[in-house]
Structure 1
Amino acid sequence: MRTARKLAPAGLAAVLALTMTPTAAQAQAQAAPQGVSQTTGRTVAGTGAWSAALHAAPQDVAYLRAAHRGHLAEIEAGKAALRKSRDRDVRGIAWRLIRDHRRLDARLRGVADRLDVRIPSSPTAEQRRDLRAVLSRSGHRFDRAWLRLQEDAHERALWLGQRELRRGHSNWVKDLARDSAPVIRHHLRMVRAEM
């Protein structure tokens, strides 16, 4: 008798599943919650609307890649300033850039993983070339060129974020752009105050 009581709910669920209309089955699949796979640790979603939420639109992919490269360039520029500059304030800004951009990039990499977006492993050729040009200077000239490079990079980062907020589709990526803007604006204020 106990076995029959235990099997009854399972049997009822099977009968309901077989008698469900296609529209009802589709609605149930679209409402399936997303979770985290116990084996891979990656986000898993049901079918329908949930899997569409995990798809990154071209604008979102472009933002993730450009922002990641920007973070990498800022980290490298910060390290270069720590090696080459003797100005205490420039070195302080460099430490701050390294710390903040590592933190922002760690969050970005998490979102890129969730959306299965491959991100580049280095700054762009242009970013590397610009840093090499700054490194060719020394003393006060290095500091001034480095600060100008940071001003340009942070203005571009703000522009990229604003573009993502206007044109992006993924809420995760738009949240990255929105949350990084105050940090980037703060960096820009520090750089301009030192110029």
Structure 2
Amino acid sequence: MVSPLDRQLLTAAHQGNLWEIATGEQAQSAATTACVKQAGADFIRDHRTLDAGVVKTAAKLGVALPSGQTNAQLKQTAALKSHAGTPAYDAAWLKAQYPAHVQTLALIDKEIASGTNPLVKSLAKSARPVVARHTQMVNHGVCHA
């Protein structure tokens, strides 16, 4: 059985992973500091790995995932791009990453506490330390690589 919360986690995690990969790739060319470029590279690697688990789990459970990011995520990526190559980009990128990771952690914790599907709960438990580390990396709009 897959509860609404299980579905919500799979959907939000997939869209979040797509956004993290896209903004991580964008940071590779748009960021001006080595710190943000490295954080972006770490996010690409980690979120590709996390998303592979999400996609595999959703397929196993027959949960259809959206094909792309939310409209809000697409707008945020475009807004970040408008600062590309300037120090404002790095600050905006870090500022965007923090709440995204905090929201994801909250959903992960909710799934661990109240989710019903053991596969989805296991996925949430394995993702938690990665998302927590990313949250630390961008806390207070600063890179803590």
Q: Fold-level match, TM-score > 0.5?
A: yes
For 1:189 and 1:83, locate their aligned partners in 2 and report how far apart those are by CA, in whole Å: 23
Give how far 1:86 is off.
Answer: 2.5
Q: Please tell me whether residue 102 in structure 1 is matched to residue 51 in structure 2.
A: no
Output the amino acid matched with 1:140: P
What runs of 5+ residues in structure 2 fail to find an aligned partner? none
For 1:173 and 1:167, locate their aligned partners in 2 and report how far apart those are by CA, in whole Å: 11
Output the amino acid matched with 1:146: W
Match of 2:92 in 1: 145
Give a deviation string over 1:123-166, Cα, whole Å, max 9, x none.
Answer: 10011111211211141101000001111111111011011122
For 1:157 and 1:58, locate their aligned partners in 2 and report how far apart those are by CA, in whole Å: 16
Mapping of residues 5-20 of structure 1, within 5 Å: none
TM-score (norm 1): 0.69
For 1:137 and 1:194, locate their aligned partners in 2 and report how far apart those are by CA, in whole Å: 18
RMSD across aligned positions (CA): 1.2
Q: Please tell me whether residue 88 in structure 1 is matched to residue 34 in structure 2.
A: yes
Mapping of residues 31-180 of structure 1, within 5 Å: 55-138=1-84, 139-180=86-127
Aligned length: 141
- Which has the larger Rg? 1
Q: Please tell me whether residue 190 in structure 1 is matched to residue 137 in structure 2.
A: yes
What runs of 5+ residues in structure 1 fail to find an aligned partner? 1-54
Give a deviation string over 1:80-111, Cα, whole Å, max 9, x none.
Answer: 11121121111000000000000000011111
User: Higher relative contact order at CA 8 Å, sep ≥6: structure 1 or structure 2?
Assistant: 2
Give how far 1:58 is off.
Answer: 1.6
For 2:128 and 2:31, locate their aligned partners in 1 and report how far apart those are by CA, in whole Å: 27
Output the amino acid matched with 1:80: Q
Secondary structure of 1:194's partner? coil
Name segments (4+ residues, structure 1) moved above 3 Å.
none
Output the amino acid matched with 2:94: L
